[in-house]
Structure formats: C-alpha cells, structure tokens
C-alpha cells in the first residue's frame, strides 16, 4: 500500500557491510563470478538527505568525512541511482541530495552500493513509488544495473545470504548475542576488478566443503550461537588474491591477530580488515592498539532487524 502523505524530504542511513563468508563458486560467460556469501550490515554508515526541488534535474553535494577522494559528478552512484528512478518513473520534479560520507571507498565495505541503495529507497518514499523496494521489479532492475551489491541495501534486514553474483538474496533472522567489531581501513583502496583478475578459481571439492561451512554458519547464527561457536567458520576466498599483493592490508590483518583478536578477516575484496570480539571494551581496546599513521580505525558493531533509521520531512544536515 502506498503512503498517501506526500513527503518533501527524507534523511536515510546507508550502512556499511562486511562479508562474514565469501566463496567464489564459478565464473559466468559474461565475466561475472558466481558467489556464495553472507552479508552483515554494521553501524558505520553514511547519511543521505534527499529533498524535492522546484527546478528539474539532480544536484549532489558531498560532505566528505571519509578521508578519501570523492567525485560529486554524474558518475557518482547516488546521482546515477536518482537519475535512473526519475527516468523510469517519468518524474518531473528535480531532486537535491546531500551525502555525508564516512565509509572509506575501495574498502570492501559496500559504501558506494549502500549509498545507491539508500538513494533508491529514498526516491521510493519521496515520490510514493513503493513501500517495499526490495520486492519491486523495476527498482530491483535499476539496483542490479548499478552494481552487484546494490540490491543488498534495498533490504531492511541486517544479515543476508547472497548467491549468483551476490544479488540472489535471502534475509536471515539472527538470534542470540552478536560480537563487537574493530574495523581497520589501511589507508589505500583495492581494485575489485584487479582482485578478480588475479583470483585462481578453487577446485570443486574445496568449494563444496566450504559451502557446508556456510550452511553451518547460517544455522548457528539463526540458532543463537555465540562467537566462539562460529568464529572458525569465517572465510574469504578473495584474501588469497589480495594479501600477497597489498602489504598494508596484510599487516593490518596480522596486527589484529597478534594483538589477540578472536577472529580476523578481510571484508569483500578489501582493503578493510575486521576483528570480532565478545565485548565492546575489547573491540575498543583493539582499535587503540592497531591505530597507526594512514589508517582509519573504527570500533563498531552489527545491526539486526530493521537496520535503517530513515527520517521523513527532516531538516538538511549541517555542513
């Protein structure tokens, strides 16, 4: 059911994600790789403010708190997402966007994809298009066209299994205690395209073994298992195509392990690495221990349930 009240503006949260599991199961004729992955959204987030404008067209302003170079041009995924919705639904009004950027780019955290997903959700709410964008065929098509990870951020759930190129998604209802996280951006991005070019596809037997581990991880999370129950099931195939080639990523991971992280792994195609701890105080302690020149370090945690705090008819963010 559509919301009969027309909005003039909306502020949306665009959370980062990590991959608790990532196996590459094959390569498609179109060049994309088939994946089996577990996405988990976290509290580190960008913020997007969207309002209707009197003049046609799309304007984007970026408040950059990420420490990375960003473009506010038409190639930005947020602009592309909004332009695509305007074209698909023949919207006559203009749109003004302010993006407050905190998530590092080229980090394996899905920041650009999350921003695009938030922009799609915001346009759906602002122009009364659909209350369930993750189910809407037209919105899902736009999301897939923007990037393989964008559909993840149409969903309100914090944990999702991904198959195909990561766009065939199944939300999980995670129970029990969730660990806290120390997240390290080592100061340099990693090119996803280069990672996949370097990757050697694993033997089928190894893939099948790992898929059984993913099934166990899913069951333990849904059953309320603690970190000690499932930490040894974490896996990222892409580490073998990144760690030997990026010293800063490798050293960040080594340091987390050296300082006693219960579990440590790279997220997605890198460059961020993360460690999991059973207490917030330990996650903060680790963050202090691995701080270094050129690094961005965050003590954060997972989201669960509805992970978006969207605020309607709100005031613009402060610069």
Q: How big, in percent rounded to 5, are the helix, strand and coil portions of the chain?
A: 35, 30, 40
* Helix, strand or coil, per DSSP, at residue 101: strand
Catalytic residue among 46, 115, 149, 167: 149
Instruction: Judge contact between 279 and 180, C-beta under 8 A.
Output: yes
How many angstroms separate the CA atoms of 53 and 120, rounded?
17
How many angstroms separate the CA atoms of 5 and 126, rounded?
10
Q: Which of 159, 163, 154 is nearest to 22 (CA)?
A: 163
Instruction: Judge contact between 169 and 38, C-beta under 8 A.
Output: no
**Residue 304: φ, ψ to 5°:** -145, 160
**17 included as an active-site residue:** yes
**149 included as an active-site residue:** yes
Tokens standing for residue 295: 């690094």
Verify cis geometry, omega within 30 degrees of 0, for the bond prior to 317: no
Catalytic residue among 11, 17, 101, 218: 17
β partners of residue 17: 41
How many angstroms separate the CA atoms of 121 and 130, rounded?
9
**Helix or strand holding residue 122 (H, E):** helix 111-126
Active site residues: 17, 149
């Amino acid at each position: 059911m559509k919301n009969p009240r027309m909005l003039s503006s909306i502020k949306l949260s665009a959370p980062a994600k990590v991959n608790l599991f990532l196996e590459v199961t094959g390569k498609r004729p179109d060049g994309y790789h088939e994946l089996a992955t577990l996405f988990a959204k976290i509290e580190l987030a960008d913020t997007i403010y969207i309002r209707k404008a009197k003049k046609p067209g799309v304007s984007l302003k970026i408040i950059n708190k990420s420490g990375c170079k960003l473009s506010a041009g038409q190639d930005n995924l947020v602009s592309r997402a909004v332009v695509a919705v305007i074209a698909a639904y023949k919207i006559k009004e203009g749109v003004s966007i302010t993006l407050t950027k905190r998530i590092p780019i080229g980090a394996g955290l899905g920041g650009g994809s999350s921003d695009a997903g938030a922009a799609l959700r915001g346009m759906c709410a602002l122009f009364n298009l659909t209350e369930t964008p993750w189910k809407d065929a037209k919105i899902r098509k736009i999301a897939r066209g923007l990037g393989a990870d964008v559909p993840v951020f149409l969903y309100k759930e914090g944990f999702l299994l991904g198959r195909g190129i990561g766009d065939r998604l199944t939300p999980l209802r995670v129970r029990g205690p969730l660990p806290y996280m120390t997240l390290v951006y080592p100061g340099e991005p990693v090119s996803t395209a280069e990672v996949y070019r370097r990757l050697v596809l694993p033997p089928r037997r190894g893939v099948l073994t790992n898929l059984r581990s993913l099934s166990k991880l899913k069951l333990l999370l849904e059953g309320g298992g603690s970190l000690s129950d499932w930490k040894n099931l974490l896996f990222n195939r892409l580490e073998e195509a990144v760690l030997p080639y990026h010293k800063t990523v490798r050293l960040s991971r080594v340091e987390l392990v050296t300082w006693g992280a219960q579990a440590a792994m790279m997220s997605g195609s890198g460059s961020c690495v993360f460690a999991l701890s059973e207490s917030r105080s330990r996650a903060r302690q680790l963050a202090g221990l691995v701080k270094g020149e050129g690094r961005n370090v965050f003590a954060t945690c997972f989201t669960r349930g509805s992970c978006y705090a969207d605020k309607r008819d709100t005031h613009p963010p402060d610069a």
